[in-house]
Amino acid sequence: MSTLLLNLDFGEPPPRKALEGNAKHQKFVKKRRLLERKGFLNKKQQPPNKVPKLHSEPSKKGDTRKVDGTWKPPPLPKKKTAASSSGSEQSLDKKAAVPWLTPAPSQKAGSVVAKVDLLGEFQSALPKIKSLPIRPQKKGSQKNPPQKTAPQISTQAHSENKYPGASQKMPTKMVAIDCEMVGTGPKGHVSSLARCSIVSYSGDVLYDEYILPPCHIVDYRTRWSGIRKQHMVNATPFKIARSQILKIITGKIVVGHAIHNDFKALQYFHPKSLTRDTSHIPLLNRKADCPENATMSLKHLTKKLLSRDIQVGKSGHSSVEDAQATMELYKLVEVEWEQHLAKNPPKD
């Protein structure tokens, strides 16, 4: 039989390649510490749902700017382990995802970054504010209605027909007039217009002027008219004043006391349907306990019905005061008198 010879060596085993693994491990530890100092491993361990910062870190030396406004750090050295390279790539991806909302520093006009609309990105990131719904305004609820001019307000009368049966053709404006006369002609017996006052339905003065008669004044009648010589120095000529007065009273209801004398001095004829003479309104006399067909003076009716004294003193009458008193007297019987005129319209 052949014999088998076994050469067995029971000494120490040959050294394994553990030394190489230990060297790699030491190199890995060094790289890991390097990454921890630079902060890459800390960012890697952040939870993925953490809100990114609005402002990125200041740029370091060697960093480059991306088009979307983020800063890209320089690439790490190529000699890296698999674990370190993967960790750095994940940290870079997260850093690149942070939006840059603030405007970028000024760049060259020809660069691509200058053409990026960073303002649009900033506005799109802001929360949208919902506007409140506009409530529709109700009719007639205007806080500041359009104001009327002074002549329109002062001359406004009864625009609405308050009383049943009244005439539908009645104008919407009403005024009161009173005139003062002076004596002209032979011995001053001719009454000429020297002052005219017109007031609105509410008593506002629309016209009040001294008027120079076309003829020489013989008697100023100051005791009754209140006209004096100095009033005629800057008085309005008769023709001009007449045209101004007619523009105001034409087409309106004109109230006056013994108004035919005023129209005669104006050399004017007003329609009877638009004339209200307080000296010929029986209702006023009845309220003043006077005979209905009697012609009562304006002074007496004002004292009796309005409890006011007018035409007192030696300075003469005031045509403004007389016109206002006439309008107030008419208002006392306006409804009843207009109903009567609607049933019995006067003939011109």
Dump pLDDT digits (tens) for 251-287. 999 999 999 999 999 999 999 999 999 999 999 999 9
Q: What pLDDT is recorded for position 33?
A: 84
- Interaxial angle between packed helices 18-38 and 82-96, expressed in degrees from 0 to 180 and rounded to the nearest 10: 20
Q: Among 83-87, 163-167, 210-214, 268-272, whose mean pLDDT is lowest?
A: 163-167
**Cβ atoms of 193 and 238 closer than 8 Å:** yes
pLDDT-based confidence at residue 31 (cuts at 50, 70, 90): confident
Domain ranges of the chain: 174-343
Q: Which residues contact 275 (CB under 8 A, 6 or more apart)?
A: 253, 254, 256, 259, 346
Choose among 181, 199, 298: nearest CA to 245. 199
Q: How confident is the model at residue 40 (pLDDT cuts 50, 70, 90)?
A: confident
- 47-76 pLDDT, tens digit per residue, is 555 544 444 444 455 555 554 555 555 555
Q: Tokens 């016109």, residue? A: 323
Q: What was the pLDDT predicted at 100? A: 46
Mean pLDDT over residues 292-299, rounded?
91
> Span 5-25, mean pLDDT?
58
Residue 143 has pLDDT above 70, yes or no: no
pLDDT greater than 70 at residue 156: no
| Residue 304 pLDDT level (bands cut at 50, 70, 90) | very high
Q: What is the pLDDT of residue 24?
A: 82
The closest alpha carbon to 341, from 282, 264, 298, belongs to 282
pLDDT band at 321 (very low <50, low <70, confident <90, very high): very high
3-state SS, the chain, equals: CCCCCCCCCCCCCCCCCHHHHHHHHHHHHHHHHHHHHHCHHHHHCCCCCCCCCCCCCCCCCCCEECCCCCEECCCCCCCCCHHHHHHHHHHHHHHHCCCCCCCCCCCCCCCCHHHCCHHHHHHHHCCCCCCCCCCCCCCCCCCCCCCCCHHHHHCECCCCCCCCCCCCCCCCEEEEEEEEEEEECHHHCEEEEEEEEEEECCCCEEEEEEEECCCCEEECCHHHHCCCHHHHCCCEEHHHHHHHHHHHHCCCEEEECCHHHHHHHHCCCCCHHHEEEHHHCHHHHHHCCCCCCCCCCHHHHHHHHCCCCCCCCCCCCCHHHHHHHHHHHHHHCHHHHHHHHHHCCCCC
Q: To which CATH superfamily is domain 174-343 assigned?
A: Ribonuclease H-like superfamily/Ribonuclease H (3.30.420.10)
Lowest-pLDDT range, 77-81, 133-137, 197-201? Answer: 77-81
Residue 290 has pLDDT above 50, yes or no: yes
| pLDDT tens per residue across span 113-137 | 444 454 555 455 555 555 555 555 5
The answer to whether 338 and 163 have CB atoms below 8 angstroms apart is yes
Q: Is the pLDDT of residue 177 over 90?
A: yes
Does 159 score more than 80 pLDDT?
no
Q: Tokens at residue 100, please? A: 């840059």
Angle subtended at Cα 190 by Cα 188 and Cα 192, rounded to the nearest 5 degrees: 105
pLDDT digits (tens, 9 = 90+) for 205-215: 999 999 999 99
pLDDT-derived band at 220 (thresholds 50, 70, 90) equals very high
Strand 275-277 versus strand 64-65 pairing type: unpaired
Task: Answer yes or no: is pLDDT of 105 > 60.
Answer: no
Tell me, what's the pLDDT at 158?
41
Mean pLDDT of the chain: 73
- The pLDDT, as a whole number, for residue 226 is 92
Task: Name the residue with tokens 């209801």.
Answer: 253
pLDDT recorded at residue 296: 92
